[in-house]
Amino acid sequence: MQVNKITGKAYHDATKHSYLSVQIDPNYVDSSTQPSSFKFYPKFYRRISLDFLNNSIHSFLWLTSAITLEKTYKNTVDKLRVNPSAGALYPTEIYVQIRGIQGIVDGIYHIEVENNCLVLIYELIDDGLEGYILPNNRIIGFIFLISCVYYRSSWKYKDRSIRYCWLDSGHHLGAIAASAFLHDRDIQLVFDFDKLALNADLGFENKEFITACAISGNVQDKKVRRLRLKVPFVCGTDYFEQNQFIEEAYKETALQKSCQQEIKHPQLSFDKDRFSQAVWNRRSIRRFEKQFISQELYFSIFQEIRQAIPTESFESIEIYAVVHRVEGIKAGLYKGTHLVKEGNFSEKTGYLCVNQAIASYGAVTWFFVSNYTNYQTAMQIAGFLGQRLYLASNYWGIHCSGIGAYYDDETQEFLETDKDVLYAMAIGI
């Protein structure tokens, strides 16, 4: 077990930011060279248009990945989605196995986000994804696979993009969970399974990799064999540059086992109409107005992100909150609800987050830390919690933004922890 922990930590340590590293390599990119952010299978593949207004199954699937806003900037159209993504680069894709659903052929489908449709990439007979994920069971319903087309992110963020790929995967799992809640469906997240064999059989070569899955359906005690055929390869970008560090980091951490827990489901109390609007309108804010939020709102948001995560493969995440502007609460650093040190640390958190004003001007800056066993799982759970924080904040009328860039060692020192900092976020008005 100790060897696994060292392996994951080695990749984390290798991608740390410091004040010096950011000054030496500010990481400017030419936006005209950005790789494509949508994946398409050939036009002759069978497609099902998602009638999300009149069909609840279609709506459930569509809302896991939907485009919710189009913005034009300097003759470029940005298509923003329900799932947040570092730099709006969207490295994640979703595939879904559908079995036993009336009106839909049993098969594995790619959700073609830009065109709101399902693309049948593999028709099932007596085989399926269960052979890789739950070898002694068959799922009547849905098995969602999250994958990362990593070059979409590494084009800009280089080696550190392995973190963003996993955080974005967690965000996307959170988007699936949100759609499941709105459609009265339970889900189970699965992180430990034979990802490398599944990558090979899905034809991903070295250009895409499976990170996690989510199951929604009835579990039957029946063995299903693995895919009888390999799926033809289709690249998720218009061009590709290999990053050996990212590929090795993924493979090594995919082989590690996560901690285990008894599965528990969250008890969410959101009004579904309001929550649907929060899902639809979720955005990453870029500016706060240095306004206070109420103590009631702060604790409501905090309780929602502490809800159970429906998975047996788990890594514990500790939540630190740097309170800047919450009525009735002393400004300072909190571990959970315990005050670690009192003071106005707004300028300090702005500095730690690579001099980003959103970390200073908001009401609260959050840090997720972990002493993980499986680094890949821990980062995805941090992203999953991040999506919860986005939606809970937006539900209560508070803005939110994820922050992936911070000075790692200095942030650890400020938090007074020896655990790794996986993610930072800010909320406010």
pLDDT greater than 50 at residue 2: no
The long-range contacts involving 294-303, CB below 8 angstroms and separated by at least 24 positions, are 294/326, 294/327, 294/328, 295/326, 295/327, 295/328, 295/329, 297/396, 297/397, 297/398, 298/323, 298/326, 298/329, 298/363, 298/364, 300/392, 300/396, 301/389, 301/392, 301/393, 301/396, 301/398, 301/427, 302/337
- Within the chain, all domains assigned CATH 3.40.109.10 are found at 34-255, 272-428
For residues 73 and 313, give the distance between their C-alpha atoms in angstroms, rounded to a whole number. Answer: 41
Phi-psi region of 111 (alpha: psi -120 to 50; beta: other; left: phi over 0): beta
pLDDT number for residue 307: 97
pLDDT number for residue 1: 35
Radius of gyration of the CA atoms of the chain, in A: 21
Return mean pLDDT, the chain: 96
pLDDT greater than 70 at residue 3: no
Q: What's the one-letter identity of residue 98?
A: I
Tell me: the pLDDT tens digits for 348-365?
999 999 999 999 999 999
Tell me: the pLDDT tens digits for 250-297?
999 999 999 999 999 999 999 999 999 999 999 999 899 999 999 999
Among candidate residues 68, 53, 58, 194, the one with its CA nearest the CA of residue 129: 194
For residues 112 and 38, give the distance between their C-alpha atoms in angstroms, rounded to a whole number. Answer: 8
Among candidate residues 136, 133, 135, 124, the one with its CA nearest the CA of residue 100: 124
Which two structure tokens, joined as six digits, stand for 319? 């939540």
pLDDT number for residue 25: 83
For residues 391 and 400, give the distance between their C-alpha atoms in angstroms, rounded to a whole number. Answer: 9
Q: Is 331 helix (H, G, I), strand (E, B) or coil?
A: coil
Which two structure tokens, joined as six digits, stand for 239? 């061009």
Where helices occur in 257-356 by DSSP H, the ranges are 272-281, 295-305, 346-352
Architecture of domain 34-255: 3-Layer(aba) Sandwich (3.40)
Superfamily of chain region 272-428: NADH Oxidase (3.40.109.10)
